[in-house]
Amino acid sequence: MRGLLNKLVSCSLSVAGKWQHQQLRRLNIHEYQGAELMGKYGVNVPKGVAVSSLDEVKKAIQDVFPGESELVVKSQVLAGGRGLGKFKNGFQGGVHIVKADKIEETAGKMLGQILVTKQTGSQGKIVSKVYLCEKLSLVNEMYFAIMLDRTSAGPLIIACKKGGTSIEDLAEKFPDLIIKVPIDVFKGITDEDAAKVVDGLAPKVADRSNSIEQVKKLYKLFCECDCTLLEINPIAETSDKQLVAADAKLNFDDNAAFRQKEIFALRDPTQEDPREVAAAMADLNYIGLDGEIGCMVNGAGLAMATMDIVKLHGGTPANFLDVGGNASEGQVVEAFKILTSDDKVKAILVNIFGGIMKCDVIASGIVNAAKQVALKVPVVVRLEGTNVDQGKRILKESGMALITAEDLDDAAKKAVKASAS
């Protein structure tokens, strides 16, 4: 989805690489949570309930869906491509339309299992809940999204009269079907704006006036909840002429966590990289990558330069880790714990330029981390700046087998060499 929006909106959310893309931290919630939030704003959504055990499945069928002959069973993971995904237990597909007598069996094959999709990577994600939904009689499927657009400096609504399938492919083959409506953030959405969106959706049977109101409600949700993305694929028409959000993907601005406490309480850390969860708890800026050289640096710019020069000398960074300018000794210890928890890491490169961050604090953190964590990989250290002499003395007197470096280039070469030995 991100790739599509980048293509549709010039320079919007542009990124220079994988780690930089992921560094834009935005809360992502499950489909069932998004549907519930939409329902609170008066958006039409299918009747549904999330369950986490077979006992809850039985109860939901009896209490919520009595007499239903079929239901939609959707695995809940924070990744796209669920329908075409595959479970590690061999079960195919994370979304199924199921007869009533097969609902428990299908849910049982999903709950507690690992689902692998095109967006999860080979490791997949665990399914802790499944979403049981009523099966709607859909007559038309379309696409709808609201995002923040740098070009127009405000929200942008994207609509397409075709949906439910790969919107990326559709945008590439039929760009004229994609309608973009920028919204003046100060005026808000007007009836004219909403009408343009509905015209882009081109509903066949849904009431036009009601559809316009649905678009305005979605925009209200987007603004009041501090969303960065609201995507519905498909937004659909039903046989009773209703416009319904048959899917729900919502992201929220982490900077708004202080005023969106109920929404941010919905965060599911089981769907995130446990290293990134641990880093967030320690107030560290960490992004896991796939390389073999763990990096601990102070300052985002220096971290980028460190990753670049490691790559230049033939290595691959295992992470982006910025301890910041005011890191405590305890945070440095936590940083080392996170780095050493990655089995792929074959060497660690510590690159500190002490300005606000003092080299002696980093050095003490390294020594204490070595006492608490069994360091099984080489550690290359380059220190420069405030209290550098004290820092080097602490490291020297620790008795640790550290590899010291005089400058960044020297440090990167030594780290690459150490990782290969």
Name the band, by pLDDT with cuts 50, 70 and 90, for residue 21.
very low
219 part of the active site: no
Cα–Cα distance, 31 to 229 (Å, whole number): 13
Structure tokens at 211: 């559809």
Cα–Cα distance, 184 to 42 (Å, whole number): 23
Name the band, by pLDDT with cuts 50, 70 and 90, for residue 7.
very low
Structure tokens at 44: 């039409």
Q: Which domains does the chain have, with CATH numbers?
A: 47-135 (3.30.1490.20), 138-264 (3.30.470.20), 273-420 (3.40.50.261)
**Does 49 or 269 have the greater pLDDT score?**
49
354, β-bridge pairs: 385
Active-site position among 32, 131, 143, 286: 143
Tell me the per-residue pLDDT of 286-338, one tens digit each, with 9 for 90 and over: 988 889 999 999 888 899 999 999 999 999 999 999 887 777 778 888 888 89
When mean pLDDT is compared across 49-58, 66-75, 277-286, the lowest value belongs to 277-286
Cα–Cα distance, 171 to 175 (Å, whole number): 5
- Cβ-in-10-Å burial (0-12, 13-18, 19+) of 122 comes to exposed
Characterize 133-158 residue by residue with b for buried, 16 or more Cβ atoms within 10 angstroms of its Cβ, and e for exposed: beebeeebbbbbbbbbbeebeebbbb
Helix (H, G, I), strand (E, B) or coil at 417: helix
- Cβ-in-10-Å burial (0-12, 13-18, 19+) of 377 comes to middle
pTM confidence score: 0.77
> Taking a C-beta distance cutoff of 8 angstroms, is the pair 35, 248 a contact?
yes
DSSP string, 323-386: --SS--HHHHHHHHHHHHT-TT--EEEEEEEESSS-HHHHHHHHHHHHHHS---S-EEEEEEET
**In this model, does residue 387 exceed pLDDT 60?**
yes
131 part of the active site: no
Helix (H, G, I), strand (E, B) or coil at 38: helix
Cα–Cα distance, 29 to 254 (Å, whole number): 12
**In this model, does residue 31 exceed pLDDT 80?**
yes
- Residue for token pair 């081109």: 202
Name the band, by pLDDT with cuts 50, 70 and 90, for residue 72.
very high
Active-site position among 31, 32, 219, 231: 231
Name the band, by pLDDT with cuts 50, 70 and 90, for residue 192.
very high
Name the band, by pLDDT with cuts 50, 70 and 90, for residue 25.
low
Name the band, by pLDDT with cuts 50, 70 and 90, for residue 18.
very low
- Cβ-in-10-Å burial (0-12, 13-18, 19+) of 106 comes to buried
User: Residues in the chain, how many?
Assistant: 421
What integer is the mean pLDDT of 157-184?
87
Name the band, by pLDDT with cuts 50, 70 and 90, for residue 398.
confident
pLDDT of res. 101: 93
Tell me the per-residue pLDDT of 218-255, one tens digit each, with 9 for 90 and over: 999 999 999 999 999 999 999 999 999 999 999 999 89
pLDDT of res. 413: 95
On average, the pLDDT of the chain sits at 88
pLDDT of res. 400: 80
